[in-house]
Amino acid sequence: MRRIRITVAYDGTEYHGWQVQPGLETVQGWLERVLTEIESAQVDVHGSGRTDAGVHAVGQVAAFSLENPIPCDNLRRAMNRLLPRDIRVMDVAEAAPEFHPRFQAKAKTYEYRLWRGEICPPMKRLYVCHHPYPLDEAAMMQMAPLYEGEHDFTAFAAADEKDALGASKVRQVLSARLWREGDELIFRVRGSGFLKHMVRMMTGTLVEVGKGNLARADFLARLEAGFAGKAGPAMPATGLCLISVEY
């Protein structure tokens, strides 16, 4: 039995997220469907993590086990021939038998993009959040690095079915930066791991800073354990993209 690692890019617009859900189109569901056809037996695909409905990826990592001896390059071509055009396998490689893309991930990088122009070009609309309203971008840029370090991100997490397990919501953010490129305001964050809606709520909190609704002390309070309430709000899924996963 071979262990295969793949890098996947997808436009999440038409999908109900990464994770398989009965009766719904998902990215994981499509990959398993295609691989099961190639293998002529059920193939289970494990990703580095779940992306929500409407979220995109250029560097999602997944793995599965396969008996088929097909060479990696041919497997990539076969998968892309069978997959819809908004899901592409960018790379296929042999992996160690014990490789697991989620449990062995060291860091992930996400980007959130805000379109600041008055008019959002139609070709951009699915990949940005259009926010043409006044924002103090300089203040937002100053605050973004305050996310760095180890913090309790409970206030930045949406309710999750795993909450009943009582797992820690402390995460380490390795870098967090916000900058402007033309009409786009880009928030890039790299961290050890992320909670449900965490990056979208981190971005939403920066937007509140830009609106003048949060001072530095209010911002930092949301990173403290025991903060009463939620940060955010969570920004729309369209502006979020998983950039890469490190091992």
Would you name the residues annotated as active-site residues?
52
CB atoms within 10 A of CB 229: 8
Phi, psi of 92 (to 5 degrees): -130, 135
Q: Which residues of 126-148 are buried (b: 16+ CB within 10 A; e: fewer)?
A: ebbbbbeeebebebbbebbebbb
Query: Rounded to 5 degrees, what angle do the CA atoms 212, 198, 26 make?
Result: 130
Q: What single-letter amino acid sits at 156?
A: F
Cα 93 to chain centroid, rounded: 22
Residues 178 and 141 sit within 8 Å (Cβ to Cβ): yes
The whole-angstrom separation of Cα 14 and Cα 41 is 27
Tell me the C-alpha to C-alpha distance, in Å, between residue 227 and each of 154, 176, 202, 221, 234.
8, 21, 15, 7, 17
β-pair partners for 61: 7
Beta carbons within 10 angstroms of residue 76's beta carbon: 19
| Phi/psi of residue 200, nearest 5 degrees | -65, -35
